[in-house]
Amino acid sequence: VRRTQAGDLILLISADDKKFLLKLAGEGELHTHQGILQHESMIDVPLGTVVHSHLGEPFLLLRPTLQEILLNTKRKSQIIFPKDIGYILLRLSIGPGSTVVEAGTGSGALTTALAWAVGPAGRVFSYDSREDMQALARENLERLGLEGRVRLIVRDIEEGFEQRDADAVFLDLPNPHDYLAQTREALCNGGTLGSILPTTNQVAQLVRALREHGFQSIEVCELLLRFYKTLPSRLRPEDRMVAHTGYLIFGRSLHE
């Protein structure tokens, strides 16, 4: 069984099922509704240990899942939902060893998922024109110790990407149609572009531009996630659901 160490991102679950995500540091304290916990007391203990606040309240110490990490991203902007991120990773074929370019970084939720998925052998290059957003994304990545896999680049991508032969490029911008020439330069032959857009007008504009730039296998889709109430004798969907996060658009860049 793994033991925690300073720098780990951990999850604490209180007896009343509240969750706390924190990065263990030598001298920190976590203040909760059920008392204070010293970081020091949570270092070098086995995952799954029950630790106690100064009030004696129990907290279960675990490793957070990627979904818990993503939903806890510190944000200054709308983040991409886990349901969409799961499909994006699969559709862009992002896995251990992949090289992927992203613009814009935003709060870094997708950046985090990309860095997590490419593993230590992969590389993520993430562009944003705003330094403050990149600072926030860096903070989010550092909580996870993933900053080593990501290069954050402040630059107007109008000037192009620095990378060539990337496996995938993801454009999370209002006007991806303006950067398709730059995207094709950065992608390997057969590499995939992805994008997410909220409005049908933007989708139509991007699809038109993808055709003009010679992208193939263009796909537009949307994912609807419906949750169910979990009473087994009264199984039924929840009353309300998210009706829209964004349309997902994909295309393959083929040279020759």
60 vs 135, which CB is nearer to a second copy?
Answer: 60
Burial class (CB in 10 A: 0-12, 13-18, 19+), 71: middle
If DSSP codes are grouped into helix, strand and coil, which group holds residue 22? strand
- Identify residues 138-167 at the interface with a second copy (CB under 8 A): 165
Give dist(CA 209, CA 178) in Å, integer: 8
Q: Is 228 in the site for a second copy (CB under 8 A)?
A: yes
Given 55, 93, 131, 175, the residue binding a second copy (CB under 8 A): 93
- Per CB under 8 A, the segment of 103-111, 127-135, 136-144, 232-240 that binds a second copy is 232-240
Which residue matches tokens 């009264």?
234
148 vs 190, which CB is nearer to a second copy?
Answer: 190
158 vs 233, which CB is nearer to a second copy?
Answer: 233
Site string for a second copy, 120-139 (x = CB under 8 A): xx------------------
Closest contact distance (angstroms) between CB of 209 and a second copy is 9
Given 18, 48, 131, 148, the residue binding a second copy (CB under 8 A): 48
Q: Is 175 in the site for a second copy (CB under 8 A)?
A: no
Give dist(CA 9, CA 62) in Å, integer: 9
- Identify residues 196-225 at the interface with a second copy (CB under 8 A): 198-201, 203-205, 207-208, 211, 216, 218-225
38 vs 205, which CB is nearer to a second copy?
Answer: 205
Give dist(CA 85, CA 75) in Å, integer: 16
Q: Kind and range of the H or E element at 162?
A: none
Give dist(CA 169, CA 188) in Å, integer: 10
Which residue matches tokens 């010293």?
38
Give dist(CA 110, CA 70) in Å, integer: 8
Q: Is 188 in the site for a second copy (CB under 8 A)?
A: yes
Give dist(CA 246, CA 196) in Å, integer: 6
69 vs 137, which CB is nearer to a second copy?
Answer: 69
Q: Is 56 in the site for a second copy (CB under 8 A)?
A: no
Given 9, 80, 85, 110, the residue binding a second copy (CB under 8 A): 85
169, 179 Cβ separation under 8 angstroms: no
* Number of residues counted as binding a second copy (CB under 8 A): 81
The count of other CB atoms within 10 Å of the CB of residue 160 is: 14
Site string for a second copy, 21-40 (x = CB under 8 A): --------------------
CA atoms within 13 A on the CB side of 133: 21
Q: Is 66 in the site for a second copy (CB under 8 A)?
A: yes
